[in-house]
Chain A
Amino acid sequence: MSDLSRRRLITTGLAATAGVLGLGTAARIAQTYGLIPPDHGGFYGLGETLTYASQRLLTRHSLAREFRPNQVSKPPLANEIPPLTDAFKRLQAGGFADWRLFVDGMVARPASFSLAQLKSYPSRSQITQLACEEGWSYIAEWIGVPLSHVLEVVGALPQARYVVYRSIDPVWWDSIDMADALHPQTFLAYGMNGDELPVGNGGPLRLRLPRQLGYKSVKFVTALTVTDSLKGFGKGLGSASPEAGYAWYAGI
């Protein structure tokens, strides 16, 4: 080995050491500012953390693209859904009159809401794209109440950091940070393209999150829990997705 390449090796070594020390400091800062995703452990933790942290720094307040009414996909694709539970079928037979959305956790006034109550709040609509991690996508008009409004009604506490949401099928649950929970385009959607939200698209109630891929927009939502930590939920990875091998953060 020549002197020159030895010198290079030493320089590279020093740079690598500085890099590792820098990473340690960066990790502490990231933890303080909520830039670490719950599924940061393991082999893919580095990539996930870099993605989540950089997108949070870049996209905390950015708005998903909205489209013109003539860009709406007709018909919107209803992706495959797991077999409907008996509980769901009973509620469906009753026209979802008894559907409830339960909200608890770090809130001043835990409550449950009927669909009629949710529809009595100021209704909003957005024409946004739903992109699936598989590669397909469609554009639809989504009608609903912003999640931030419901969080205001129940009085989410200032120390809240995440909102956990659950489908009527208990195997399907997920969570988002407050940047997404309070985002103006994060809806509890009950309508689509000027009509009721079809069951195939997640009706009667779907959490709609246009800045993340489709699998974060959980269908048939019945419960929300506001929390400051995801440790007590499932395996503590933030949602059912990482437990099944998929990333918690799906803004990529």
Chain B
Amino acid sequence: MARLESVRMPLGASVTSSAGSVRATTGTSRHSALVRITHWITTLCFLALLVSGIEIVISHPRFYWGETGSVLTTPLFQLPIPSSRALVPTGYGYVLPDQNGWSRYLHFQAAWVVVLTGLLYAISSLLTGHLQKNLLPGKADLSWRAFSFAIAKHLRFERPSVAEAWSYNVLQRLTYLFVIFVLFPLVIWTGLAMSPAFVSAVPVTVTSLGGQQSARTIHFFVSLALLFFLLLHVVMVCLAGFRSRMRAMITGHASLEHARTERERT
């Protein structure tokens, strides 16, 4: 229905933060095909990395700092979970089955796919202007006033304004930038720092972190941060209107009418 009277907006059309300037009923491209495809490939890879990563951690749920660490060393901390290795003292009377074989195959395969996808996304974001238009906050958004307003709005669990169906708000922009340009590079770097062959060629990858075990511990915490982002992201999508946001990220279409009815219903 909306399709018939749809008004096509230029791709990546930026919408100012006042809802009034948004045309009433439109059904048009919210996310480019590249953003949607890389988004879902990344989602799949992240879930694969998460599951396989948890399985690998289970084989040695102890963390250390520096170059070395084993059951003979005092750990920095130990996760209170059972292990898939009898050698690890866990306090549980049983040993879980070993899942490291397929977990490691899957972990590195998913890592390759997500790194290549990420590169494709990053390069095309620069070329198409997606980075400048949709991710970098505008000058007006970076004032303390605008910033504290956005935070207060989030803290009050206020529904997003209609304009936000079209454009990321400032907190979203900063979070996405942090995930894409800080957390992802960091998790890749610390992952590579655990590879004995890779660090033989580029030793500074691990020496700059203080050692292989430090790299492993940082890798764990960055993964936790990414998991926290994923959960927060899903919660925000649900609060903003699960159906309309999912529809936008799957089909690329965002209809304000759709978003409105959902807002009224919930």
- A: residues with CB less than 8 A from B are 2, 4-5, 8-9, 12, 43-44, 46-48, 50-51, 55, 58-59, 62-65, 67, 71, 73, 75, 77, 79-80, 129, 131-139, 210-213, 244-247, 251-252
4 additional A-B pairs beyond A55-B197, A129-B212, A135-B62, beta carbons within 8 Å, are A47-B110, A50-B112, A65-B199, A80-B87
A183–B34 Cα distance when bound, in Å, is: 44
Tell me which of B28, B86, B195 has the highest count of chain A C-beta atoms within 10 A of its own C-beta: B195
Return B198 CB to nearest CB of chain A, in Å: 7
In which size bucket is the chain B interface?
A: 35 or more
B59–A129 CB distance below 8 A: no
| A137/B213 in contact, CB under 8 A | yes
Selected contact of B105 from candidates A44, A79, A129, CB within 8 Å: A44
Q: Are B106 and A2 in touch, CB under 8 angstroms?
A: no
Contact with A along B196-238 (1 / 0, CB 8 A): 1111111100110000110010000000000000000000000
- Select from chain B the residue with minimum beta-carbon distance to A79: B87
Chain A residues in 8 Å Cβ range of B108: 47-48, 51, 247, 252
Stretch at the interface among B67-75, B170-178, B255-263: B67-75
Could you list 11 examples of A-B contacts with CB < 8 Å?
A: A5-B33, A47-B109, A62-B201, A63-B200, A64-B196, A73-B72, A134-B59, A134-B85, A136-B69, A211-B197, A211-B200
Instruction: Write the residues of chain B forming the contact surface with A, with a CB cutoff of 8 angstroms.
Output: 8, 11, 28-29, 32-34, 37, 56-57, 59-60, 62, 67-73, 85-87, 100-102, 104-106, 108-113, 194-203, 206-207, 212-213, 216, 252
| A244 to B110 alpha-carbon distance, docked (Å) | 21
Given A5-B252, A211-B197: A137 in contact with B67 (beta carbons within 8 A): yes
Closest residue of B by beta carbon distance from A39 = B105
List the B side residues contacting A4 at CB < 8 Å. 11, 29
Q: Find chain B residues with CB under 8 A from A138 CB.
A: 68, 70, 72
Which of B67, B206, B216 gathers the greatest number of chain A CB atoms within 10 Å? B67
**How long is the Cα–Cα vector from A5 to B36 in the complex, in angstroms?**
12
Cβ contacts under 8 Å, B70 to chain A: 73, 77, 136-138
Taking a contact as CB atoms under 8 Å apart, the answer to whether A137 and B69 are in contact is yes
Q: Known: A4-B11, A47-B105. Is A80-B198 also a contact (CB below 8 A)? A: no
A135 touches B57 (CB 8 A): yes
Let me know if A213 and B112 touch, CB within 8 A: no
The complex places the Cα of A191 from the Cα of B141 at a distance, in Å, of 65
A213 touches B196 (CB 8 A): yes
Interfacial chain B residues near A247, Cβ < 8 Å: 101, 104-105, 108
**Docked-complex contact B212 and A252, CB < 8 angstroms:** no
Q: CA A145 – CA B194 in complex, angstroms?
A: 27
Please indicate the chain A residues that have their CB under 8 angstroms from the CB of B202 in the complex.
58
Q: Are the C-beta atoms of B200 and A64 separated by less than 8 Å?
A: yes
Q: Are B105's CB and A136's CB within 8 A?
A: no
Top 7 closest pairs, chain A to chain B, by CB: A245-B101, A47-B109, A251-B197, A135-B60, A44-B105, A136-B70, A62-B201
A129 near B67 (CB under 8 angstroms)?
Answer: yes
How near does chain A come to B108, taking the closest CB pair, in angstroms?
5
Most buried by B among A4, A5, A137, A139: A137
Q: Which residues of B sit under 8 angstroms from A139, Cβ to Cβ? A: 67-68
Measured CA separation A44–B196 after assembly (Å): 21
Measured CB to CB, the closest approach of chain A to B55, in angstroms, equals: 11
Pairwise interchain contact A47-B112, C-beta atoms closer than 8 A: yes
Closest Cβ neighbor of B83 among chain A residues: A134
Min CB distance B44 to A, Å, is 14
Establish whether residues B198 and A55, one from each chain, have CB atoms under 8 Å apart when the complex forms.
yes
Partner of A212, one of B11, B29, B69, B197: B197
Q: In the complex the two chains form, what is the Cα distance from A44 to B147 in whole Å?
A: 46
Set of chain A residues within 8 Å of B57, measured between Cβ atoms:
135
- Given contacts A71-B67, A77-B72, are A251 and B198 in contact (CB under 8 A)? yes
Residue on A with the closest CB to B75? A136
